[in-house]
Amino acid sequence: MSKEKIVMCEDLADIMPPEYQELVATATFGKQDRGWKDIGTSKELIEQHSLCAGCPESIAFRYILASLPAPEDTVFVGSTGCTSLVFPHVAVHNIHSLFGNQNAIASGLKRALAARFPDREKDVVVLAGDGATVDIGLDMTMQSWFRLEKFTTICFDNELYANTGGQESGLMQKGFVAKMAPKGKTFEKVKLAEIAREAGCAYVAVLTVSKPNRVEQVIKNAIFVAREIGPTFVQLYTPCILEIGKQSMEGLDEMKDSETIGGRFVQKEYITEEAQKLLDVIKEETKARKKAAKAAKKPVNA
């Protein structure tokens, strides 16, 4: 898509909703090196969210949308859960179909888009909760990795089924007492990152969303590697403050606690050699481009 597709007809512009007018005026579609720092100075691609106050998923959504390298050519595939309450407010095409089949949808979608647009890169990004990714949808999640489908899978890991009211999930910690685990969960948190690595993902990252620059980097890495090499997986800890008994303002602390040494979400990455080479090249190119841009900005005689 080029940005002209969202330009309004002049005669009708005044009756368009203000949020759409802002989108046309200042959204960062097509901007090179867009990132989380655009938040606050440009129109975000998420209009609002219908999540609980203070939900870390909402900030995760904002960082991810700000970090997409090419939102004008990106299609999201979601699943049922809290994320499906947010997607209707997002200015990027997104598909909700069923619960758990998101990686199957993305497989067909990515292939069809690749066939229809042979000269253009169309990024497909799956964004689903841990129930959808690991429990009901594990079959399709893993099979898409086995087939080396070239799209990114992002899992919002809140360690339980949030939208249905806090039931046990495969990514819940062992021993946690939850609905449907009245005596505490009896088995370990599923090692999804390792499963992803073994199943064929060329780039895997596990982290919280406490630091926007880190989120931006892994999202970009994951999408760049998916374009060129194969499946990529990002697992983000987005705690369900409601179901773990925290207050609205305690989400950030919960994430910071979990990523300190010995925590469940100390940042880790698994990168294949091929993927690392690609990321190194991109890093160099980006650095050179930014340096050149900076130099061009400087007055000649300064």
Residues that bind another protein (CB under 8 A): 1-8, 10, 13-14, 17, 19-21, 24-25, 30, 47, 50, 72-75, 77, 84-95, 97-98, 101, 104-113, 115-117, 120, 122, 139-140, 143, 147
The distance of closest approach from Cβ of residue 95 to another protein in the complex, given in angstroms and rounded to an integer, is 5
- Could you tell me the smallest distance in angstroms from the CB atom of residue 278 to another protein? 23
Q: Which is nearer to another protein, 73 or 135 (CB)?
A: 73
> In the complex with another protein, which residue's Cβ is closer, 23 or 207?
23
Residue 20 or 176: which CB sits closer to another protein? Answer: 20
Contact by Cβ (8 Å): 178, 167: yes
CA distance 139 to 92: 27
CB of 39 to another protein, least distance (A): 19
Edge-to-edge strand ranges of the sheet holding 232-237? 94-95, 74-77, 123-129, 152-157, 232-237, 203-208, 268-271
Taking Cα atoms as reference points, which of 154, 27, 10, 39 lies closest to residue 91? 27
Cβ 112 to another protein shortest distance, Å: 3
Contacts of 234 (CB under 8 A, 6+ apart): 152, 153, 154, 155, 204, 205, 206, 207, 218, 219, 222
Pick between residue 112 and residue 288 the one whose CB is nearest to another protein.
112
The secondary structure of 161-218, three-state, reads ECCCCCECCCCCCCCCCEECECCCCCCCCCCHHHHHHHHCCCEEEEEECCCHHHHHHH
Closer CB to another protein, residue 143 or residue 272?
143
CB of 122 to another protein, least distance (A): 7
CB of 195 to another protein, least distance (A): 16
User: What is the H or E stretch that residue 128 is in?
Assistant: strand 123-129
Which residue lies nearer to another protein by CB, 181 or 231? Answer: 231
